[in-house]
Amino acid sequence: MAERRYIDAINLAHHEEFARDDRVVVLGEDVGRKGGVFGATAGLLEKYGEERVIDAPLAESSIAGVAIGMAANGLLPIAEFQFADFIHPAFNQIVSEAARMRYRSNNAFGCPVVFRTPYGGSHGTALYHSQSIEAFYAHVPGIKVVAPATPYDAKGLLKSAVRDPDPVLFLEHKRMYRIVKGEVPDDDYTVPIGPAAVRREGKDLSVFAYGWMLHEALQAAETLAGEGIDAEVVDVRTLAPLDTTTILHSVAKTNRALIVYEDNRFCGYGAEIAALIAEEAFYDLDAPVIRLGGPDVPGIPFSKPLEEWFFIDRHKIADAIRRLAAL
């Protein structure tokens, strides 16, 4: 088994799915000759040609809309958006068209499209290259939203997404691309869309996170272990549909819950997990549910001290864990 970077796992999944099924195509800005701005589609053009690896015009709504039409006529498109921030012009196509196609046609037409995009803040990417967009889409029935945090999951979940008969928004926190490494088998394996994963067993409290926040949360948990606080860390992994069973089971075990997410705190994705726990696990709780979300400013600012102020890191998470443990 080879150790691979997160981005290489994504690239490998593309290559394997292209080889497995000639209905798979990729379309997006710079996905062809350049191989994608981060290299996710590198090598596909050389192997599979321009017909299946499509350098699309710079127009996000049509990237989504054309993919929907391709899917209606028998292809399995992967539509890449360079940054999650640029997906907003395609919001209507994804939400009103892709997510509703099966429902509105009473099951006559499906929409097996994968919408892939890097999201989240990394150093120096600022407003318009750092947004977290998951809450907008997870809100809408008819589209699945996944945010894998490990190279193993990235490959396995992307392959599941390509084979899924419904639209999937596939979110890759871009800070992971080159930093996060892990074992990725060369086998044709998939990771099912749906189940969450307990990444660290613990008994004192539960931390729920996804994407890059998972790695920060795991680091914080290790720090706290030295202080005698034993945190369980759950990788939510699939945001829609949400694995409520694993979440509630963890809360029943630890009786305390912290939700960490990089998106703006207000109406962010963490609110859904908090509401779930309040509704379904109120009597298991020894303390109020805590949300640690991004500050409610319109974006991550560019200048280093401003950026550091925004970022949620292991130190902020550790502080939140201490606060929760003391309640």
List contacts with another protein (CB under 8 A): 25, 51-52, 56-57, 59, 61-62, 64-75, 77, 89, 92-93, 96-97, 100-110, 141-142, 144, 164-166
Nearer to another protein, 65 or 118 (CB): 65
To which residue do tokens 């696990």 refer? Answer: 281
CA distance 64 to 52: 16
Known catalytic residue at 129: yes
Q: Which of 163, 317, 173, 166 is nearest to 237 (CA)?
A: 173
CB of 105 to another protein, least distance (A): 4
Amino acid letter, residue 2: A
Which tokens go with 299? 């974006």
26: β partners: 53, 78
CB of 237 to another protein, least distance (A): 18
Output the CA torsion 241→246→248→252 (10° steps). 180
Cis peptide bond N-terminal to 241, omega within 30: yes
CB of 15 to another protein, least distance (A): 18
CB of 109 to another protein, least distance (A): 5
CB of 90 to another protein, least distance (A): 10
Q: Choosing from 14, 129, 173, 215, which is the catalytic residue?
A: 129
Nearer to another protein, 70 or 176 (CB): 70
Nearer to another protein, 144 or 174 (CB): 144
Nearer to another protein, 7 or 114 (CB): 114
Nearer to another protein, 71 or 171 (CB): 71
Q: Which of 143, 114, 119, 115 is nearest to 129 (CA)?
A: 119
Under the phi-then-psi rule, with left for phi > 0, alpha for psi from -120 to 50, and beta for the rest, what region is 267? left
Under the phi-then-psi rule, with left for phi > 0, alpha for psi from -120 to 50, and beta for the rest, what region is 194? left
Residues identified as active-site:
129
